[in-house]
A and B are shown apart, each in its own frame.
Chain A
């Protein structure tokens, strides 16, 4: 039981590390796509394609570069999480009302000031919902990490499958499901608050 608790924490930490890094990169890529008219297509297409690679295949390829262990899993999760974050950042930024962009520009804000004082804050509800989707997805994908030798709840589930031990499978699955539900619930709450305030 203590084991399971430890694995759950490990699972969550791996996912959160990946999400934090992915959020930073994702927002950055979203901003770059928004700022550069031709790069936007390329960036969006790339993060889109990343997500079409089956997770096991992606992790296997990454294993070639990063070896067995947690690092490979984290890199994989980062790549997977990019799509919803980059896309929502891009949609959010392009969707800010042109009048507000005009107002910000007309008041004498530089490009960076417009981004950080107006455009990003106004896009944040949408960006946050991208982060939420990425987090919930990553929680379940992380289970596969066991196949490339990383920690987390993949291990008890995998062991359960190998030994045909259903209670072990369920014991490993339940924390994943509970975490996903809890994250989804609280992040949705925050999301609603953000959307309401942004009106």
Chain B
């Protein structure tokens, strides 16, 4: 429905839009997100020709928009500006009626539209229609700003941070309303925000921009799973912790790093003593150069150990090992299957990094789900 083909815009030497190519489908809720100054507003304004690109073309419904009369074009594209921009010399009713009037709708039609829209956002006509914008709260003003953009039922609506300065509660309910309207009326919405919460809630597709370039175009789920750039990751912030950790976690995230190791030359008696003192049932045995050799259990020493012998004769290699960077899921499966009830985690140089036990696994999973645990 809206296609950007190699669109560029410069102000002086500064490149604001850098060879932007983008495809927006009909009926899609597309969110432009990115750091301040990355060119979101500029991108939006090129769609209704408030800004003309230096090169490239924008095509709406198959037509190059530079071939369309800009005034006519704009009447078919709803526009909510970043600063609300209600006309202070007009009442609420007059503000909403601007575009229908430009399109010569009849008085009855306009009346019906204003009534219906005000009802949609729970602002009764009798109470609100004759008020001036200065008599409304910030939230009410933003509502009217959105209604004004919808009044003539444009198939495309551009919204530039329409809920910028709102408290979370009002914001939530307005987001809800906009999403409902979009679904019900099948609008194509291009919506700018720099709030990832908002993007994830509303978007069918998120377009992440930085420095005038598109870094990633993806559904919210895709973006959460595979952010294409560290900047996107940082924008995703807390969402990453909640929803994405599982895919990125590795064995070392689940292990207990403080483990008891003994050199293979240690005598069996000393080992027994150490184990009872530390209240553990097995030990990890390492070579002289600290690389992993194997494990030994207290039962085995009791059964076969002879006083004065070195522990290396009793070491078994039946314990499961993983390297610290192996996938967490693999470690998890090994742990379930492990006869000893633990999995040894090794560093790349084969030294011991830690131990995954059922307790350490449970604790790490709890943290991934609910954040840092105190206990």
Contacts and interface: CB of A to CB of B under 8 A. Distances in A.
A110 B71 contact: yes
A108 B81 contact: no
A122 B81 contact: no
Contacts of A109: 71, 98, 102
Given A99-B81, A100-B85, A102-B85, A107 B99 contact: yes
A102 B82 CA distance: 10
Contact of B71 (A103, A108, A121, A199): A108
A105 interface: yes
B134 interface: yes
Interface string B149-180: 00000000010000000000000000000000
A109 B95 CA distance: 13
Contacts of B82: 99
A118 B101 CA distance: 14
Contacts of A103: 79, 81, 85-87
A105 B87 contact: no
A113 interface: yes
B interface residue count range (under 10 / 10 to 19 / 20 to 34 / 35 or more): 20 to 34
A interface residue count range (under 10 / 10 to 19 / 20 to 34 / 35 or more): 20 to 34
A189 interface: no
A43 interface: no
A106 B48 contact: yes
B341 to A, nearest CB: 66
B79 A118 contact: no
Given A106-B81, A108-B72, A118-B89, A199 B99 contact: no
Nearest to B149: A107
Interface string B41-58: 000010010100000000
Interface in B321-354: none
Contact of B83 (A99, A108, A122, A197): A99
B125 interface: no
Contacts of B84: 99
Given A106-B74, A108-B72, A197 B85 contact: no
B362 to A, nearest CB: 54
Q: Chain A interface mostly helix, strand, loop or mixed?
A: helix
A112 to B, nearest CB: 11
Nearest to A111: B71
Contacts of A113: 102
Interface in B54-99: 71-76, 79, 81-89, 98-99
A104 interface: yes
B305 to A, nearest CB: 84
Given A107-B102, A109-B102, A102 B81 contact: yes
A121 B89 contact: yes
A1 B128 CA distance: 56
B71 A198 contact: no
A54 B48 CA distance: 52
A105 B50 contact: yes
Contacts of B102: 107-109, 113
Contacts of B235: none
B79 A106 contact: yes
Interface of B: 45, 48, 50, 71-76, 79, 81-89, 98-99, 102, 132, 134, 148, 158
28 contacts: A97-B83, A97-B85, A99-B81, A99-B83, A99-B84, A100-B87, A100-B88, A102-B85, A103-B79, A105-B74, A106-B81, A106-B158, A107-B74, A107-B75, A107-B98, A107-B102, A108-B74, A108-B99, A108-B102, A109-B102, A110-B71, A117-B87, A117-B98, A122-B87, A197-B89, A198-B88, A198-B89, A199-B88
